[in-house]
Structure 1
């Protein structure tokens, strides 16, 4: 894994731990043109896992996770993220499959990541 990808993953993990009380256990990221695509494993807290045992709870966890993450990145990207990749973050697409505790985030930047 390149140093830049490792640092990128650390920024993502740190932000999610600060926001949600738990960061992902494992992150796999790749840079493709102007995108960073990250697959995050082991995201949910024990409380979220308990809530997600019902269909309504699963929807609540899904909505909270995706909306919160997108809103935070819309307000301002995590410190050091844009400097690390040398590009401005334009948008983040994020989703989580609650049943399997796997999330995917696609970061779109204004130019190719170097």
Structure 2
């Protein structure tokens, strides 16, 4: 795998977020570290979500909806298969969280073997 694979991984995350959530993050960076793929995303929230955050109840609703919805995306075997095919490793678990005040989300994909960066 090359740095290009990290970029392809980021684009896959963006594509899936756009498909399931309605928009993808404005910025995304993925790094492979041992058996982890760590994706940091900035600019995730929609205009409606930003508007909802004008109240404490709205903040709670946006945080809960984003957290639970993203977890459900990564429960799909079809979604997981796309990542596994790209890096040739099986996903063991996925961790995801969002800080809605800073509009930064992190997803950590844990694979069954190290994701070694190789030159072409």
TM-score by length of 2: 0.89
Query: Partner residue of 1:98?
Result: 100
Spell out, residue by residue over 1:33-92, the C-alpha distance to the aligned partner (whole angstroms, 9 max, x if none): 111111100000000111112111111111111111111212223552111111111211
Between the two structures, name the one with larger relative contact order (CA 8 Å, sep ≥ 6). 2
Query: Partner residue of 2:22?
Result: 21
Whether contact under 8 Å (2:92, 2:110) holds in the other structure is yes
Q: Does 1:83 find its partner at 2:104?
A: no
How far apart, in 1, do the equivalents of 2:81 and 2:43 lie? 23
1:16-55 map, 5 Å: 16-55=17-56
TM-score by length of 1: 0.93
Whether contact under 8 Å (2:91, 2:110) holds in the other structure is yes
How far apart, in 1, do the equivalents of 2:15 and 2:62 lie? 20
Say how many residue pairs are matched: 114
Whether contact under 8 Å (2:80, 2:91) holds in the other structure is no
The unaligned stretches of length 5 or more in structure 1 are none
Mark the structure with the bigger radius of gyration.
2
The unaligned stretches of length 5 or more in structure 2 are none
